[in-house]
A and B are shown apart, each in its own frame.
Chain A
Amino acid sequence: MTPFATNLILAFVWAALNGGIGVSSVLVGFLVGYAVLFILQPLFGASRYCSSLFDGVMLALYFIYELIISSLKVAWDVLTPTHRSKPALIAVPIEAKTDAEITVLANLVSLTPGSLSVDISEDKTHLLVHAMFVDDPEAFKQELHKGMERRVLEAMR
């Protein structure tokens, strides 16, 4: 996506926020969006920013689904009188290389039922995960590596 497109999106978001897609509000929205982009210039190249924004929106939708599942599971554990959990802190080796990949992976892990990203090793090779229901750590690692991580990498590469 070009910066212009991003700008256009921002313009429409603005117009929507202002309660109606009209000529004047889109125009103002475009100006505001341009200002925001201008301000953000030093952060990174505009194209980089655009893709991040797009992924963000897409992944957000995915999160919602995952979130509902995980919440229900936690709710179950909270509401039943006994704690069935077998918590563990597991350093899972990861393949994800870029910051964006790692971030998405980590956040997805956090929103997945029963797991929470805790830390990333300094060399970015391991993701420390706190899991609520772990019987076998190695199995857990495999599952995360093969399941979640592959899906994320496929989506992003």
Chain B
Amino acid sequence: MTEMIVSVLIVLGGGFAAIAGLGLLRLPDVLIRMHATTKAGTLAAGLIVLGVSVYFASSLVITKALLIIAFLFLTAPVGAHLIARAVYRRKLPLWDKTLFDDAAMKSTDKASENALSDNADQGLDK
């Protein structure tokens, strides 16, 4: 029974891992790809860790597993946010079908635009 649950959990986790990878490969721009990795990837790891904790079923392993999951779920959205913010502020190229409705963010924009043009100059000045 335990083995069954473990097997399901880890195969499911593996599946999500593969999906995350596939999504990273197939989806059209970086922000959309992040939807795949942050969600499916985190879930994949979480499921597998859960499977392990079920298998060993000791309080130590369960605590460890829960800690891993907690860490992952605390950090994944923050990490995604930081990368996405950088993508946005540096004006990285996005899929051409992307709709922009970000007028309210202009104040933030100004600063980063200046930074960008400075950087472009630096880029040439090797």
Direct contact of A and B (CB under 8 A): yes
A contact set with B: CB distance below 8 Å: 13, 16-20, 56-57, 60, 63-64, 67-68, 70-71, 74-75, 77-79, 83, 85-91, 93, 106-107, 110-111, 113-114, 116-119, 121-123, 125-126, 128, 130, 132, 134, 137
Contacts of A106 on B, CB cut-off 8 Å?
Answer: 77, 81
- Minimum Cβ distance to chain A for residue B34 (Å): 6
By the criterion CB–CB under 8 Å, are A130 and B107 in contact? no
- Minimum Cβ distance to chain A for residue B74 (Å): 7
B contact set with A: CB distance below 8 Å: 16, 19, 22-23, 26-29, 31-32, 34-36, 38-40, 42-43, 46, 58-60, 63-64, 67, 69-70, 73-74, 76-78, 80-81, 84-85, 87-89, 94-95, 97-105, 107-108
Does more than half of chain B's interface fall in helix, strand or loop, or is it mixed?
A: helix
Q: List 15 A-B contacts (CB under 8 A).
A: A16-B59, A16-B63, A17-B60, A18-B60, A67-B39, A67-B73, A85-B28, A116-B34, A116-B80, A118-B31, A118-B84, A119-B84, A121-B107, A121-B108, A128-B88
Contacts of B39 on A, CB cut-off 8 Å?
Answer: 67, 70-71, 74, 111, 113
Q: Looking at the complex, which one of A56, A71, A85 makes contact with B43 (CB distance below 8 Å)?
A: A71
Q: Looking at the complex, which one of A60, A78, A110, A117 makes contact with B22 (CB distance below 8 Å)?
A: A78
Q: Looking at the complex, which one of B29, B40, B77 makes contact with A74 (CB distance below 8 Å)?
A: B40
Complex Cα gap A57–B69 (Å): 11
Contacts of A110 on B, CB cut-off 8 Å?
Answer: 38, 76-77, 80-81
By the criterion CB–CB under 8 Å, are A78 and B23 in contact? yes
Q: Looking at the complex, which one of B16, B31, B63, B103 makes contact with A116 (CB distance below 8 Å)?
A: B31
Given the known interface contacts A78-B27, A90-B102, A132-B35, the answer about A17 and B81 at a Cβ–Cβ threshold of 8 Å is: no
Complex Cα gap A86–B101 (Å): 13
Complex Cα gap A74–B64 (Å): 28
Q: Looking at the complex, which one of A16, A60, A88, A128 makes contact with B99 (CB distance below 8 Å)?
A: A88
- Minimum Cβ distance to chain A for residue B99 (Å): 4
By the criterion CB–CB under 8 Å, are A75 and B77 in contact? no
Q: Looking at the complex, which one of A16, A83, A113, A119 makes contact with B28 (CB distance below 8 Å)?
A: A83
Given the known interface contacts A64-B73, A107-B77, the answer about A87 and B19 at a Cβ–Cβ threshold of 8 Å is: no
Which residue of chain B has the shortest Cβ distance to A107 in the bound complex? B77
User: Which 5 pairs between the two chains have the least Cβ-Cβ distance?
Assistant: A110-B77, A88-B99, A19-B60, A91-B104, A78-B23
Given the known interface contacts A16-B63, A71-B16, A71-B39, the answer about A123 and B107 at a Cβ–Cβ threshold of 8 Å is: yes
